[in-house]
Amino acid sequence: MGFGVRGAILILAVYFMAGLPAAFAAKTPSKWIPKCDSVDLNADENSPLRKIPVYDQGKSGTCYAQAGSVVLDYYRLKKDPNAQLSNPLFMATQSKLDDLGNPIGGEKRVHGGQAADAINAVRKRGLCKSAAIDQCFEELHAKFPDKANAEIVGLIDRVLKGESPTTPAPECESEEDSAKALREFVAGKGWEGKFSVEVLRETFGACQGNLISLAEVPAAIPYYNVSEEKMGLIVDVLLNEGTPISLSMASPVLREVDARCVKVTADKSRKTIKTGGACKNAAGDPDFLHEVVITGKKVIDGKCQLLIRNSWGEDWRAKVGPGKLAKCACEMLNPVTGQRSYHEICPDTGEIRDGEAIDMNAPYAERILGCWVPADAVLENSVGFTVVRDANK
């Protein structure tokens, strides 16, 4: 996840959206009339979204960089289908460091940030080459071979904060053993007393001199304090032109679609955070604001729905009611032929569900590429967005 409540309020104060760039605003109608014509940026078999992994941020709190990585790589892969994918953790780390490699403003953790900052940091300094990334994480992967980079970082971050990890290491039989093993690993690396920004800066040491220039990528600009109506027409325009949107929104909506956790002040000049009702836990939740990517729109069951790509793993599904899971888009794998097929709405037959037996000869959902969430719930609970697009569009 990402911003945190106090960080969110600061961000909203700093990034008040007075208006869109003139060239963009001129393309939007004065009033949002949601036609919700069908657009799905995943549908083309050559879509960059089919090449980009569905990330799992674990407990790293780097949703902003995960979403930023998706919109950045979508832009780059449209220009060059062979472009190397970015690394969200490298982007998150770079967004916290200045040009001399020192933490900006006393930043201590990579937990929480903005997609635009993560994108623009690597746009300015370059993207770490894949071989260097592999070298950077070689030792960590040897210790935790079954974990993704972000999950490893999240576990180490918890140890650095004096908390106990909840996921045991492979050789550990209990959480207590796992915590001990992690503490010993951190101590052996000399990381005690440090913070995740310092640890990752050191971990990514092999990236020095192994960078790919992103000078051709346009700057990412964040727009915050956007009204629901304006956000709706922005989504329409951007999706119709084929641009995915990195969206900052209240995370409780992805678990309870009826939650309304963002409110507009009386003069409509600013959005603030609610902490009551379905959002009652938000005040103490550092992951309240979350960054996702909008990749489609479609009328489903008589309502306009937005296709939300998340960074909570390949099997994540949004909840749209008590015990009710959202319809999702997925890639299905036929275990007999080995062929993959894309489904805008994943069929229930053969779908993998926890604790439910399936026919192993039937096609099954190999990964969820996004879930359909009611547009009104998403837009009412959004606070801003970031895109990477050519200025002449």
| Amino acid making up residue 251 | S
Which candidate, 321, 291, 263, 306, places its Cα nearest to that of 92?
Answer: 291
pLDDT tens, residue by residue, 188-218? 989 988 888 999 999 999 999 999 999 999 9
Q: How confident is the model at residue 35 (pLDDT cuts 50, 70, 90)?
A: confident
pLDDT at 145: 80
For 91-105, 245-259, 364-378, which range has the lowest pLDDT when averaged over its residues? 245-259
pLDDT at 34: 56
DSSP codes of every residue in 168-202: --TT-SSHHHHHHHHHHHHHHTT-TT--HHHHHHH
Which candidate, 237, 329, 309, places its Cα nearest to that of 67?
Answer: 309
Take residue 46 and report the two structure tokens written for it: 């050559």
Res. 274: pLDDT tops 70: no
pLDDT at 16: 34
Which candidate, 119, 12, 10, places its Cα nearest to that of 65?
Answer: 119
- In the chain, pLDDT over 70 holds for what percent of residues? 75
Is residue 1 packed enough to be buried (19+ CB in 10 Å), middle (13-18) or exposed (0-12)?
buried
* Average pLDDT over all residues of the chain: 80
The strand pair at 340-343 and 382-387 is best described as unpaired
236 CB-near residues (< 8 Å, 6+ apart): 28, 32, 34, 35, 297
**What is the pLDDT averaged over residues 208-235?**
87
pLDDT tens, residue by residue, 44-72? 999 999 999 999 998 889 999 999 999 99
Pairwise pLDDT comparison (38 vs 280), residue with the higher score: 38
Res. 389: pLDDT tops 60: yes
For 145-149, 238-242, 346-350, which range has the lowest pLDDT when averaged over its residues? 346-350
pLDDT at 278: 64
d(C-alpha 12, C-alpha 43), whole Å: 34
**What is the pLDDT averaged over residues 365-380?**
88
Pairwise pLDDT comparison (276 vs 12), residue with the higher score: 276
Q: How confident is the model at residue 19 (pLDDT cuts 50, 70, 90)?
A: very low
Q: How confident is the model at residue 94 (pLDDT cuts 50, 70, 90)?
A: very high
DSSP 8-state code for residue 221 = E
Q: ∠335-340-343 over CA atoms, to 5°? A: 115
**What is the pLDDT averaged over residues 73-99?**
96
Pairwise pLDDT comparison (106 vs 138), residue with the higher score: 138
pLDDT at 283: 42
pLDDT tens, residue by residue, 117-130? 999 999 999 999 99
Phi–psi pair at 65, nearest 5 degrees:
-80, -35
- In the chain, pLDDT over 90 holds for what percent of residues? 41
Is this structure's pTM higher than 0.75?
yes
Which candidate, 174, 131, 178, places its Cα nearest to that of 156?
Answer: 178
d(C-alpha 4, C-alpha 20), whole Å: 26
pLDDT at 109: 87
d(C-alpha 156, C-alpha 196), whole Å: 8
Q: Which of 26-35, 58-67, 180-189, 352-361 has the highest mean pLDDT?
A: 58-67
CA atoms within 13 A of residue 144's CA, in its CB half-sphere: 19
pLDDT tens, residue by residue, 322-345? 778 889 999 988 777 888 889 999
Torsion angle (degrees, nearest 10) of CA 282, 199, 54, 37: 50
